[in-house]
Amino acid sequence: MKKDLLTTNDFSREEILSLFEKSTALKEKRKKGVEHLPLKGKSLGMIFNKHSTRTRISFEVGMNELGGRALFLTGDQLQLNRGETLKDSAQVLSRYLNGILIRTHNHQEVVDLAKHATIPVINGLTDLNHPVQILADIFTIKEKLGKIESVKIAYVGDANNVAYSWMTGASLMGMELVIACPPEFKPASLPQLHGNGKVEIIEDPFEAVKDADIIYTDVWISMGDTGDLEKKEKILVPYQINQKLLNATGKNSLVMHCLPAHRGMEITSEVLDGKDSIVFDQAENRLHVQKAILETLLSQPSQ
């Protein structure tokens, strides 16, 4: 039976740990220049309705390094924008491809695509969820700290799709997550949580970062945001990750940002480029973890 990755909860804790073992092995193979082509002859269709740097490049390079081929597609290039249904598109693409990556606005589009496709579907980001980012982030934390369980993450800023995904990831993997955000930008809804991790949403960023192993943030103005964005930025000013907030952890905490960063807005350059930042290691690990995801899902027998 085919398996999809639409949310972090689509994998069990044991499957994620196995995925991380594979990610470590793939990272080492790449470092040593060892050829590894388990997806030779296989094709991944990549549907992008949102701009991308890390997601597109890491998946495209990853598929190539595994011996397969990635096809970059946009809504303008497909018939979806001219009225063809997701159901029809899913059935056609399933006849041509071995997997589909989709990066779009409405999460329901991804759910519907997976429902009708007979090949694995991977969520490359929606307005609700970003599972491939969170899996790479947790892998990076394990790599840097040597553990996952009981690690405390303080997510500071706009409680967007990345924060929403962190809730499911932290809960599933036994981590402690404290989200600090103003009342105006709390999550509209909470995901279904599994596992023994702890998730808390508070208002005070300085309270949130106490004893945190990781301080994490994302952009304040996301793709597709509407409304009074200048007002939103002003409300979020107290949630900037700067040296003062980093010092408030009371320990040697590490800093993460899923990028792209708006320097001087949600994070200062001093912190982003500082000794405690693992932001670019985090970005690199998107490649290794996503290669592990591709190998795991696309190596499944065809239906």
The single residue of 218, 257, 282, 290 carrying the catalytic annotation is 218
Which tokens hold the place of 63? 């598929």
The single residue of 240, 286, 288, 290 carrying the catalytic annotation is 286
The single residue of 4, 54, 133, 181 carrying the catalytic annotation is 133
Q: Spell out the long-range contacts of 82-88 with Cβ–Cβ below 8 A and sequence spacing 24 or more.
A: 86/112, 86/113, 86/116, 87/112, 87/116
How far is residue 8's CA from residue 15's CA, in Å, rounded to a whole number?
11
Secondary structure string (H, E, C) spanning 223-235: CCCCCCHHHHHHH
The single residue of 107, 130, 257, 288 carrying the catalytic annotation is 130
Cβ–Cβ under 8 Å, residues 297 and 120:
yes
How far is residue 269's CA from residue 249's CA, in Å, rounded to a whole number?
19
Sheet strands side by side (includes 198-202):
198-202, 176-180, 152-156, 214-217, 254-257
Q: Is there a catalytic annotation at residue 30?
A: no
Cβ–Cβ under 8 Å, residues 121 and 102:
yes
What SS3 state is found at 209? Answer: coil
Give the rounded distance of the alpha carbon of 27 from its chain centre: 18
- Amino acid occupying residue 205: P
Q: Is there a catalytic annotation at residue 258?
A: yes
The single residue of 240, 258, 282, 290 carrying the catalytic annotation is 258
The single residue of 56, 103, 107, 288 carrying the catalytic annotation is 103
Q: Is there a catalytic annotation at residue 181?
A: no
How far is residue 139's CA from residue 147's CA, in Å, rounded to a whole number?
9
Residues designated as active site: 103, 130, 133, 218, 258, 286
